[in-house]
Structures are given as C-alpha cells and as structure tokens.
Amino acid sequence: MPLVTTKEMFKKAYEGGYAIGAFNINNLEILQGVVKGAKAKNSPVILQCSTGALKYAGPKYLRAMVEAAAEETGIDIALHLDHGPDLDAVKLAIASGFTSVMFDGSHYDFEENIRKTKEVVEYAHAHGVVVEAELGVLAGVEDDVVAAEHVYTDPDQAVEFVERTGCDSLAIAIGTSHGAFKFPPDYEPQLRFDILEEIQRKLPNFPIVLHGASAVDPETVEMCNKFGGNIANAKGIPVEMLRKAASMAVCKINMDTDLRLAMTAAIRKVFAENPAEFDPRKYLGAGRDAIQKVVEYKIENVLGSANRL
Ligand code: G3H
Ligand code: 13P
Ligand code: ZN
C-alpha cells in the first residue's frame, strides 16, 4: 500500500463532515501506537513529522517505518512535514518521500507569507506533493497570560491568500494553541466558529486545518503527576468544540501533546510500580498501548473518521 497525499482524504472528509487526525510521530512506538489505533477504527490517518522529529529520528528511518506501517496495515496513510520553516526543509521532506508538506509562513507579513508559500507550492506541485499553508497566529500562554501576538485569521485575507498561493489546505487561527499550557487556569477556552463559518462560506469546499488541537485530558495529567511528574496548569481544547469544527470545513486536526502526555503517564506508571523493571519493551510497550487508546478515542469522539477507509 503506497503512501497517499491528502487530496482524496480531504475531499471525502469535507463531504462526510469529519476530519482526519494528524498525529506527530518521533519514533517507532509512537508511530505504531497511532497506526494501530487507526487500523482498529478502520480510519485513514496523517502521520506528521516536525523538523525536530526529522532531526531526532532521521528522515530515512521515519519514511521507512511509515512505509512499513502502510504495508502492514493496508490503511490510507499520508506522510506530512509539520511546520516546515523554509523551502530547504520542504525539499528535504519531498526528497525523503513525504507526500504532503506544510510551509509555516504565519510569522511573516501577509505579502511575504504569500511570496514564500507560492514558491513552496510551485516546487511541491511539480513533485506531486500537496501543500498546507498557515495564515493567522496561534495564541500561547506566557507567564499565565494569553500571548499578545494572537491574531485570528481574517476571512477576506484567507480567500486572497488561497487564490494567490494555490495552496491545497489552510491552517487558520480561531483560538487553538500549541502545547499543554494553552490557556491560563481560569480562562474558558473558546473557538471563533463565526470566523470558521465565514471562511467556509467564502471558500466553499476548501479544506481547513486546525493546529494546537490537543484536549489535554486532566486525568492523564493527574496520572503523570501521581507517578512522579510535575505538570501544573495544563489546559486544552474541549472535545465537543473540536468535533463541531470537524463537522464543518476543518478536514485535518493536529494533535501531538495528547500523545506525549499519554505515553509519559503510562511509562511513569510502569517505572513507579515496577522499580526493578529495565526492559525497554515493557515501558515503551505500555507507552505505545496508551497512544493507541488515545488515537481510538480521538477517531470516535473528535474526528468522526472511523470506518471511512
Ligand atoms: O506543533 C508542533 C508539534 O507539536 C511538534 O513539536 O517541534 O517539539 O517536534 P516539536
Ligand atoms: P498540540 O500541541 O495541541 O498537540 O498541537 C500539535 C500541533 O499543532 C502540531 O502541528
Ligand atoms: Zn502545529
């Protein structure tokens, strides 16, 4: 089963009112946990690697492992570059067999973002690879304050951006945020569905992407802390809000933090309960199982992508 692009996945997801989960992978156990979850739910999946993941594991290892996963499971898998910083990173990913790339020019001004994204689109399309771009800036929590640089995506700019760059999907800022500390403890998370609706109206049938979409399950954080962790004030996006977004124009939902927390909690538990254990298969295997559970939960409760192969 060769790796696929996201083109067909997004078309079906848009029409079906669901989204494809894009899960970050960094090693064998994370990859296996994700694809086992997707296979168990009969769901397509996007496996994505940040530049940090490429540096950690190496593009050749990652590609080979992902190809093995596609062959082993027979499910539709796209291999995606997450937050590509420049054309060089995109070229490396494409040369390494990735079927989809993100160019993240969200920190540039509008014209510069368009210019650089267009360059990436021309290169990627010439190589049969699809491009996700980003417009708007995601919030982050710094010193317990929602970062001032948070900029919601402007729907009119989104239309102009898509038309002028030719990108295949667009990541937008409507209130999500990266990491485990998305909001101050007393802040009620909100997503700007009005912006999403307007973008959907102005760009019909165009796939929208949500980054920073981990839910940060309090029980998982508690489990990390119970077994020796120290993670304070973690907070994520409520599951019902994500499910609503998935039923609209959002076709790809990015989750990494929830996998990290689940794997860490499971490994901490093995270490705490079995201090004599030193077989990596025992604790990494527990981490892998925990990731599989999270992915199955997301497919059922967030994405709606079960039985969509
Ligand atoms: O959005 C970023 C992803 O969670 C990847 O994080 O750069 O630490 O691999 P990373
Ligand atoms: P989370 O940190 O919310 O998991 O978001 C991951 C992400 O957006 C990867 O690009
Ligand atoms: Zn992201």
Residue whose Cα lies nearest atom 1 of ligand 2: it is 212
CA 22 to ligand 2 centroid distance, Å: 9
CB 134 near ligand 2, within 6 Å: no
81 is a domain residue: yes
Please calculate the CA angle 130-213-115 and round it to the nearest 5 degrees. 40
283 is a domain residue: yes
Q: How far apart are CA 112 and CA 164, in angstroms?
A: 12
Q: How far apart are CA 292 and CA 30, in angstroms?
A: 9
pLDDT of residue 149: 63
pLDDT of residue 43: 98
**pTM attached to this predicted model:** 0.97
Beta bridge partners of 151: 137
Give the helix ranges, DSSP H, for the chain: 7-16, 28-40, 51-57, 59-73, 87-95, 110-126, 155-165, 193-202, 218-226, 239-247, 257-273, 280-298
Contact 170, 208 (CB under 8 A): yes
SS3 category, 124: helix
pLDDT of residue 100: 98
27 is a domain residue: yes
307 is a domain residue: no
| pLDDT tens, position by position, 241-287 | 999 999 999 999 999 999 999 999 999 999 999 999 999 999 999 99
42 is a domain residue: yes
Closest CA to 3 of 54, 69, 53: 69
| pLDDT tens, position by position, 162-211 | 999 999 999 999 999 999 999 988 889 999 999 999 999 999 999 999 99
254: Cβ contacts below 8 Å, ≥ 6 apart:
22, 24, 48, 82, 209, 210, 211, 212, 213
308 is a domain residue: no
Mutational pocket test of ligand 2: of 20, 23, 24, the residue with most ligand atoms within 8 Å of the beta carbon:
24
| pLDDT tens, position by position, 93-142 | 999 999 999 999 999 999 999 999 999 999 999 999 999 999 999 977 65
309 is a domain residue: no
**125-139, 148-162, 222-236, range with the lowest pLDDT:** 148-162
Q: Which of 82, 154, 217, 258 is catalytic?
A: 82
pLDDT of residue 236: 97
pLDDT of residue 80: 98
SS3 category, 298: helix
Whether the predicted pLDDT of 219 surpasses 60: yes
Contact 173, 155 (CB under 8 A): no
Q: How far apart are CA 31 and CA 288, in angstroms?
A: 8
pLDDT of residue 1: 82
CB 189 near ligand 2, within 6 Å: no
Whether the predicted pLDDT of 81 surpasses 60: yes
Contact 3, 77 (CB under 8 A): yes
Which CATH number goes with the domain that contains 216?
A: 3.20.20.70
Q: How far apart are CA 31 and CA 39, in angstroms?
A: 12
pLDDT of residue 140: 74
pLDDT of residue 145: 53
Question: Which residues surround ligand 1 with Cβ inside 6 Å?
Answer: 24, 50, 52-53, 82-83, 178, 256
Beta bridge partners of 36: none
Number of domains in the chain: 1
Tokens of 20: 């494809």
CA 52 to ligand 1 centroid distance, Å: 7
pLDDT of residue 139: 78
Q: How far apart are CA 301 and CA 75, in angstroms?
A: 20
CB 211 near ligand 2, within 6 Å: yes
Contact 78, 6 (CB under 8 A): yes
Ligand closest to 140 (CA) is: 2
- Residue 276: exposed, middle, or buried by beta-carbon count in 10 A (0-12, 13-18, 19+)? exposed
Whether the predicted pLDDT of 146 surpasses 80: no
In angstroms, the Cα distances linking 253 to 68, 179, 209, 215 are: 24, 14, 6, 11
pLDDT of residue 260: 98
**Domain region containing 65:** 6-302
What protein residues have CB closer than 5 angstroms to ion ligand 3?
Answer: 211
User: Is 82 assigned a catalytic role?
Assistant: yes
Q: How far apart are CA 107 and CA 93, in angstroms?
A: 21
SS3 category, 14: helix
14 is a domain residue: yes
